[in-house]
């Protein structure tokens, strides 16, 4: 993943060790901070999928924040880093 095109973000997340109803995914993000200092609390994980990239995995999340904005975040398990792919336009989500 390109470092310039997809900037790193700080994410507070939980890594689940065993099934738990309150923790829906193996890696569950709860809030994140962008490089410009913007902080966002995740209200809902709208979509999640995992894809193999080389020997590692990328975990893709489309999240809905308390500020009523959508973001596409990716966790690169090989590099152990979160990246912002894009802020998602709400109309694109509902027209699929």
Tens digit of pLDDT for each residue in 19-77?
998 898 999 999 999 999 999 999 999 999 999 999 999 999 999 999 999 999 999 99
Indicate the pLDDT class of residue 18, thresholds 50, 70 and 90.
very high
The answer to the question of residue 2 being in a domain is: no
The answer to the question of residue 54 being in a domain is: yes
Domain count, the chain: 1
The answer to the question of residue 19 being in a domain is: yes
Q: First vs last Cα of the chain: how many Å apart?
A: 25
Read off φ and ψ for residue 92, nearest 5 degrees. -65, -35
Radius of gyration for the chain, computed over Cα atoms and rounded to the nearest angstrom:
13
The answer to the question of residue 3 being in a domain is: no
The answer to the question of residue 15 being in a domain is: yes
pTM for this one?
A: 0.86
Task: State the residue range of the domain holding 69.
Answer: 8-94
């Amino acid at each position: 993943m390109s470092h310039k095109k997809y900037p790193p973000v700080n994410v507070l997340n939980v890594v689940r060790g065993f099934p738990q109803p309150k923790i829906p995914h193996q890696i569950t993000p709860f809030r994140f901070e962008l490089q410009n200092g913007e902080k966002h609390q995740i209200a809902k994980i709208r979509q999640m999928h995992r894809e193999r990239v080389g020997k590692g995995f990328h975990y893709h999340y489309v999240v809905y924040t308390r500020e009523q904005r959508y973001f596409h975040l990716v966790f690169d398990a090989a590099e152990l880093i979160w990246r912002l792919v894009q802020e998602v336009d709400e109309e694109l989500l509902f027209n699929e």
